[in-house]
Structure 1
Amino acid sequence: MWTKTIGLGLFTVLLAYLYGKWQDLQRQSLDEREQSIIESWDALITEPRRKFRRISVGINCNLDLIISGTDLLTSLGQNPGESLDSVSLETLEDLRNTFSHYFQKGAAAERTFTDKHVYKQVIETANKLPSKEHYVGGNAALMAVKVAELFPQTKIQLIGPIGPVLKDLLPRSISIPDSSHISSDEVHLIMEYGLNENWGSLTSPVANRFITSYDESNSKLTSLNKFFSNHKHFDSDLILLSGLHLLETQGLAFIVEKINEVKEGLEKIQLDIPVHLELASMASEELVGSILDQIVPRVTSLGLNEQELSFSAHVADGPHFDDFHTRTGQPEIHKISDMILWLLKTYGYSKQNPTSRLTRVHFHSLTYHIVGTLPSAWHNTKSAVAAGTRMAGRQACDSKQLTPPEIELRIPKTFQLFSGDEGHTFDENNPVLSWEKEGFQFVFSPVLVCISPLKTVGLGDSISATGLMYSDFDISYREP
């Protein structure tokens, strides 16, 4: 009997040892797969033949206060609430419910406060948390910083409301006109959460962040006229524009007025100067509809994530328009391709729509990117997508070099590239895929997702800026 017991014990130990070795081999195999992707990116990425030398960036700039979202809500006495998506926030309950909605979906979102007194209470509570950090904030400022880091020879002009603390955080190489200085910083609150983080009965499926703010300068686009007038004097060869999403806290008449000002400013920019518009999370169908109809055809390039893309399709009756309300987790690749194609065909340049200048859409999500272009207008797109996806992992891990096992591949092994596709089996030795559909080029690459992210703020802005700087724009596509 004792012999049997000892034998069973030894067998159990051996089984545990073999299982551990099997797990090690599996992990090693996964690490080799991810290392192959990194090496393939590094071999593929080349700088464009024609580089952008002088860049004007605007117009939303602010100081980010970064804290744990669940710690803040707990300190405010708020537990998980109803899953409700408010267009704007007025009360602590609105903040709790909207944060709950996006926390359990694992989706990035941004909503503004309409009550400055409640927002002041939130910021005062956030400042008392033991763990908090200040960073450069605002899509415009973040894009400017990333370009300054990656391409130090590039001249950059930043237009927007820039307070004293933010000014000290910005690289000295960035030019800031005197008209952009304000006496006190506009503070935006970044409520971060981690992978599988628990908050009451809720669990986050991915690491992400919820952004909220109350400000005067950014939400009213007070720097708009300065932006359009200054870029001429700066002699820009690339323009990066952001901040339109902050208009949704304003009244309809004000929104109409500002959208018209943006439209008129864009129409005065020469066609050989590409203009990139970076979108951010919005909940106002009226504002998104106005941006799609009046602004998107007047920009050359568009950057957006799954929330912004699916909401655009929802508002304008595009493909998979019901996904905005039903989707959970990461979006299916073929559906994103369908929506990008719809944007390019509906709002982009073609012989049937020669007044439009839109020729590029850069979609970025946690697990993959797709860039759709008019191939005669944009070159070096494979390098641009590889550089963007590589940057996503590097910034999230806050590392200059991606290293397994800190990162992991999270796309399916097989997937459709577009609706009707027979399906594609992913090969880590060929991680950047390219295909053409209806005259447009699509380039796809997965993100190596940081397992324990340290820096999720500004990922979309860094990705878009990186992708643009590795892109080669060619105005000759308009020649007859």
Structure 2
Amino acid sequence: MVFSDKLISLGTLFTVAAVLYSIYMRDYNELDARLVNVINGLISVEEQQMKLSPKVAVGYGACVDLRVDGRELMNHFDGLTPKHHDFINELFELQESYAYYFKHGAAAERFTTNSSLFDELVASAERASGSRFVIGGNAAVMAMRMHLEGCSVLLGATLTDRHLHAIPDEIKVVGGPISRDDIHLVLEYKSGETWGPYTAPRANRFIIHNDFHNPRVKSLNEFGRQLENFKPDVFVVSGLQLMDNYKYTEGDDVRSEVLESIVDQMLMIPRSTKIHFEMASYTEEELLNSVQKTIVPYSDSLGMNEQELANLHSLYTYGNVSVVTDSTPRVAAVLDQMRSIFWEIRSRSKFVPGHKTLTRIHVHTLAFQAIMVDNVHGSWKQPDVAAAKASLTA
């Protein structure tokens, strides 16, 4: 009887396991089918894209990204306290900052004031397994993508001859050659990855740099000379986050002068030319305030991720910046913030002489794309196609 009961129990166990497995496979297959339907739907929308070849001017800057698995370079130690630092001067500050952003799954980019430390880290990263060099910088990456989409592109950037060859010949790069590339060290991590006692809630990266040319926007003057003759249909402004917490040896006026020169370039082109400002990670309140007072009022369109959106929303709503935010926000929360800053920017910008009316905001996340447009005052074509293409590309 006992043996029979054991057989029944064992049989029941197998039955339950089989039922659970069939439920799992059914749910998995249903999810898989839904994903296929979503992807096919996005592709069908993407295929409606009008085949155009606009002229796009993209500023400012380029760099060489050295990508490496963060765990290959960063050692966790007992007693490490996660902490935000505005800039990096010592190794422990890097470790504390990395821990802080890692546990929140938040992206960050920090200037390293200690050149010797940075060079040592780069040398270590080069020896790490799987590390690789790629052309980086928002402007350069966007320029290359737009070239792939058939655009005629003018890029304001400085690169050595060695890495200039990585840019397609059809992209006109202006800004002059440099003797030493600006390397950005990109420490990458995956969702669910552990580092010490911390688990990353989502995939992201922590970037450090010891950049010399990009915070000074060295390509600015040459780019300006070419801009008017190029006659772009769209002007993309980006890369300004590299001025964040940067220590200018020439004095604090350098940054203000650069921003004023960029505004001059935004004003020198016809008002019919669309201007898009691509945000990035800012933690210095003074710089972000300057950007929202100088660059934003002359922009038709803004682009940012969910953390940058929350940061900008915090600035407009509470007058301060938020260092980290929810790394997986709800769609409804993102849309609420988009609507809020959309109207806040428009109401403030109308008091700025020569301002443009903001008519588009694009928020790009790993999970979804959200594009808000005002087609009454703007003329943005096919935002649905743009959202679909961005989703498939991401």
Normalising by structure 2, we get a TM-score of: 0.91
**1:45–1:383 CA contact under 8 A, matched in 2:** yes
Cα deviations by residue, 1:188-221 (Å, 9 ceiling, x for unpaired): 1111001110111011011111111111100111
Gap regions ≥5 residues in structure 1: 393-480
- Hey, what's the Cα distance between the residues in 1 that align with 2:93 and 2:20? 48
Letter in 2 for 1:264: D
Distance 1:147 1:16 in 2: 51
Give ranges in structure 2 of 5+ residues lacking alignment.
none
Q: Count how many residue pairs are aligned between Structure 1 and Structure 2.
A: 385
Q: Is the 8 A contact 1:161 1:223 kept in 2?
A: yes
The alpha carbon displacement at 1:63 in A equals: 0.8
Does 1:193 pair with 2:192?
no
Identical residues among aligned pairs (%): 25
Residue 232 to residue 243, structure 1, CA distance change in 2 (3 Å) = same
Aligned to 1:31: 32
Deviation per CA, 1:356-394, whole angstroms, max 9, x where unpaired?
Answer: 2422111111212211222131231111111111211xx
Distance 1:131 1:42, change over 3 A: closer
SS in 2 for 1:114: coil
- Report whether the alignment pairs 1:121 with 2:117: no
Q: Pairwise CA RMSD of aligned residues? A: 2.3
- CA distance, structure 2, for counterparts of residue 357 and residue 297 of structure 1: 8
- The residue aligned with 2:110 is 111
CA distance 1:383–1:200, shift in 2 (3 Å): same
* Alignment TM-score, normalising by the size of structure 1: 0.75
Give a deviation string over 1:210-267, Cα, whole Å, max 9, x none.
1111111001111112222212222321122211111121354322222222222212
Residues 1:304 and 1:268: Cα distance change in structure 2 (over 3 Å): same
- Give the conservation status (yes or no) of the 8 Å contact 1:111–1:281: no
2:219 to 217, 223, 230: 223
Asked if residue 130 in structure 1 is aligned to residue 129 in structure 2, the reply is: yes
- Tell me which moved more, 138-147 or 345-354: 345-354
Q: 1:351 to 1:126 in 2, by over 3 A?
A: closer
Counterpart of 1:379?
Answer: 381
Flag the 1:78–1:129 CA change in 2: closer, same or farther, 3 A.
farther
Aligned partner of 1:453 in structure 2 is none
State whether residues 91 and 118 of structure 1, in contact with CA within 8 Å, keep that contact through their aligned partners in structure 2. yes
Q: What is the deviation of 1:114?
A: 1.5
SS at match of 1:309: helix
Deviates more, 1:26-35 or 1:50-59: 50-59
CA distance in 1, matches of 2:281, 2:100: 14
1:243 to 2:239 alignment = yes
After superposition, the C-alpha distances for 1:413-444 in whole angstroms (9 at most, x for unaligned) are xxxxxxxxxxxxxxxxxxxxxxxxxxxxxxxx
- Equivalents in 1 of 2:325, 2:215: separation in Å? 29
Q: One-letter code of the match for 2:258? A: K
Asked if the contact 1:63/1:187 (under 8 Å) is kept, the reply is yes
TM-superposed deviation, 1:29: 0.8
Q: Which residue of 2 aligns with 1:164?
A: 161
Are residues 323 and 288 of structure 1, via their aligned partners in 2, closer, same or farther at CA, if it must alter by over 3 Å?
closer
CA contact (8 A) 1:163 1:186 kept: no
Distance 2:284 2:163 in 1: 29
CA offsets per residue over residues 4-47 of structure 1, 9 Å max, x none? 11221122122212211211111101111111111211222355
Determine the structure 2 residue equivalent to 1:328.
Answer: 326
The answer on whether the counterparts of 2:283 and 2:323 sit within 8 Å (CA) in structure 1 is no
Query: Which amino acid letter does the alignment assign opposite residue 4 of structure 2?
Result: T
Distance (whole Å) between structure 2 residues aligned to residue 389 and residue 206 of structure 1: 18
Superposition pairs of residues 43-122 of structure 1, within 5 angstroms: 43-47=44-48, 51-74=52-75, 81-122=80-121
| Aligned counterparts of 1:145 and 1:60: Cα–Cα separation in 2 | 13
Q: Which amino acid aligns with 1:111?
A: R
**1:66·1:133 contact (CA, 8 Å) conserved in 2?**
yes
When structure 1 is superposed on structure 2, of 168-177 and 219-228 the one drifting more is: 168-177
State the secondary structure of the residue aligned to 2:61.
Answer: coil
Give the superposition deviation at 1:165: 3.5
> One-letter code of the match for 2:270?
Q
